[in-house]
């Protein structure tokens, strides 16, 4: 698969810059969505890129999904990327994440990857993620960040 040319600028960021852009997003925006003007201002997104990410043509894109992809494809250490993602999805900011939230995070990342490659979002990926979470994590038990960081680092290094 080839990433459309309009999406290639999303791959050029250092992790430090992704963190800075996310901080600016938190300061400037009132919701979890970005309109074209905000995306252009925050990350210098082109209109062609915005159209790819705005799958439902409502004039908004999912900021959490976008920052997930900027993080995943940024230049940086895996530990820093994992910590950023976990903080991004740690909505109650307790340095833990519920399995349901982990499932949401992985699903959003997968959907973002599909948008990055401009392919249809495949439901079987969502089902596989759900199955993985159910088999590996008790449903109502918080998972500490440090445990997840160890797991992710081990997976990436193998």
DSSP secondary-structure letter at 7? G
Res 158 pLDDT > 70: no
Residue ranges of domains in the chain:
5-157
pLDDT band for 116, please (50, 70, 90 cuts).
very high
Residue 24: predicted pLDDT: 95
Residue 121: predicted pLDDT: 77
pLDDT band for 157, please (50, 70, 90 cuts).
low
The half-sphere exposure of 106 on its side-chain side, counting CA atoms within 13 A, is 19
pLDDT tens column, 37-80: 999 999 999 999 999 999 999 999 999 999 999 999 999 998 89
DSSP secondary-structure letter at 117? T
DSSP secondary-structure letter at 111? H
Q: What is the mean pLDDT of residues 11-27?
A: 95
Q: What is the mean pLDDT of residues 22-36?
A: 93
């Amino acid at each position: 698969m080839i990433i459309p040319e309009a999406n290639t600028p999303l791959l050029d960021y250092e992790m430090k810059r992704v963190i800075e852009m996310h901080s600016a997003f938190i300061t400037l925006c009132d919701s979890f969505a970005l309109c074209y003007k905000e995306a252009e201002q925050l990350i210098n997104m082109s209109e062609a890129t915005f159209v790819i990410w705005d799958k439902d043509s409502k004039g908004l894109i999912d900021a959490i999904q976008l920052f997930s992809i900027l993080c995943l494809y940024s230049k940086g250490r895996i530990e820093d990327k994992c910590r950023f993602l976990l903080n991004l999805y740690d909505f109650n900011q307790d340095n833990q994440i519920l399995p349901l939230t982990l499932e949401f995070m992985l699903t959003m990342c997968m959907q973002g990857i599909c948008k990055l490659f401009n392919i249809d979002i495949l439901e079987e990926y969502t089902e596989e993620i759900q199955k993985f979470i159910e088999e590996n994590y008790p449903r109502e038990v918080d998972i500490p960040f440090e445990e997840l960081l160890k797991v992710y680092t081990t997976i990436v290094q193998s």
